[in-house]
Structure 1
């Protein structure tokens, strides 16, 4: 599974710091998702990210590398 956070952030032209401040997520959480080095993701984190970017879960996570 891959997280498309890097792509979504680039499209919105925001930094990890800006995202952290906007959503109140931890730096480690954002970094792990951004670099695809996560084992599991909290449901609340997924909901916050989907709401923030205006996407569905399938737009945030993919089963194969599409980048």
Structure 2
């Protein structure tokens, strides 16, 4: 699975610290998603990020072969 958070934040000109502050999601969690090193993430975190960034789950996460 690939996380596109770094691309999305770049397009929206947002920083990890902005997202952490605005969403109350742990900065370490966002950093792991940003660096695509997260091994598991709570569904409520994904939901919060999608709503905050105004993206669909498929835009944030994609399955790779």
- Shorter-chain TM-score: which interval? over 0.9
Moved over 3 A (4+): none
Residue 28 in structure 1 maps to residue 11 in structure 2: no
Q: After TM superposition, list the pairs within 5 Å mapping 1:3-42 onto structure 2.
A: 3-42=3-42
Superposition RMSD in Å: 1.3
Report the TM-score, using the length of structure 2 for normalisation: 0.93
Q: TM-score, normalised by structure 1?
A: 0.90
Structure 1 residues without counterparts, runs of 5 or longer: none
Where does structure 2 lack aligned partners over 5 or more consecutive residues? none
Q: How far off is 1:27 after superposition?
A: 1.2
**Deviation (angstroms), 1:53:** 1.2
Instruction: Tell me the alpha carbon deviations over residues 4-63 of structure 1, each in whole angstroms, 9 at most, x when there is no partner.
Output: 000110111011111100100111101100001111110110000110111111000011
Query: Across the two proteins, how many residue pairs are aligned to each other?
Result: 65
